[in-house]
Amino acid sequence: MNNGTLHKVLTHYVPYLLGFALLFATWHIVAVYSFKSVLFPPPLAVLRKAAELTASGVLIEQASVSLARIAAGFLLGVSIGIPIGLLMGSFSFLKKLLEPFTEFLRFIPSVALISVAVIWFGIGEESKIFLIAYGTVFIVILNTAAGVLSIHPDKLRAARTLGASPRQIFFFVALPAAMPEILTGLRIAMGNSFTTIVAAEMIAADRGLGQMLWTGRLFMLIEEIFVSLLVLGLAGFAADRLFRVAITKFGGKYSVVA
């Protein structure tokens, strides 16, 4: 690794490491000097509990169950949302036809459908996957359609002038141009998936980080509650970084508040 590459890596990652150090330092100060209570454990106590739960296999099992549910529901929502969004963005008639459905349903939060999901699918995996897919699909549809509609008409005209077929225009012009918006929608939808899975597992699950949070509340296992929150935050942060990298690779810009 040459000096230029090393400097680039340090410039990119050191601020993140400093940010995490500041986060944990603030957490420690507040827990030790302000709360002084077992109800708000310091980070070292939480990390010790995390190591204990990891060594016993409990944390790995609970986290893997939740992340598997998130992945399954997210992929299902994406596989439905992207084609619909592409169609809505490409054909004005379909946009007008489907927009009332998407606009109506997207304002019904997925957590409001937990009871319905349990009635329809029971308390098994299907209900969690349905809820995550539901919370994902409308965000993906809207961002995908917006990405297609934002393509400059000159790009499409230039491709037609050069003799590109509709298939070539779609795959080599329209889809790459819309990809930053699509990935931004996926990024936002992924954050929503984490929110949904926690609520679903707290109400209707016997495994997962949400169920771990619920059990911690019932039995006042404060450190386990914070371990669950820590794992959720770190997993979400990692997923978000991946989407940000993908967005910038396609020439897009991400929003800090998205």
How do the domains of the chain map onto residue ranges? 1-36, 42-147+174-249
Residue of 80, 53, 67 whose CA lies nearest to 225 = 53
What are the pLDDT digits (tens) for 116-158? 998 998 888 899 999 999 999 999 999 999 988 888 877 878 8
Inter-CA distances, 216 with 43, 174, 209, Å:
17, 49, 10
pLDDT tens figures, 10-25:
676 788 788 888 999 9
Tell me which residue of 197, 150, 195, 196 sits closest to 177, measured CA to CA: 150
Could you tell me the two tokens for 166?
A: 């509709």
Mean pLDDT of 174-187: 87
Cα–Cα distance for residue pair 132/41, rounded to 1 Å: 31
Contacts of 235 (CB under 8 A, 6+ apart): 63, 67, 194
- Verdict on whether the full-model pTM lies above 0.75: yes
Q: What is the pLDDT of residue 2?
A: 60
Is the separation of the CB atoms in 178 and 169 below 8 Å? no
Distance (Å, rounded) from C-alpha 48 to C-alpha 10?
A: 29
Residue 22 φ/ψ region, left for φ over 0, alpha for ψ in the -120 to 50 degree band, beta for the rest:
alpha
> Considering only CA atoms, which of 208, 242, 60, 226 is closest in space to residue 129?
208
**Fold assignment, 42-147+174-249:** MetI-like fold (1.10.3720)
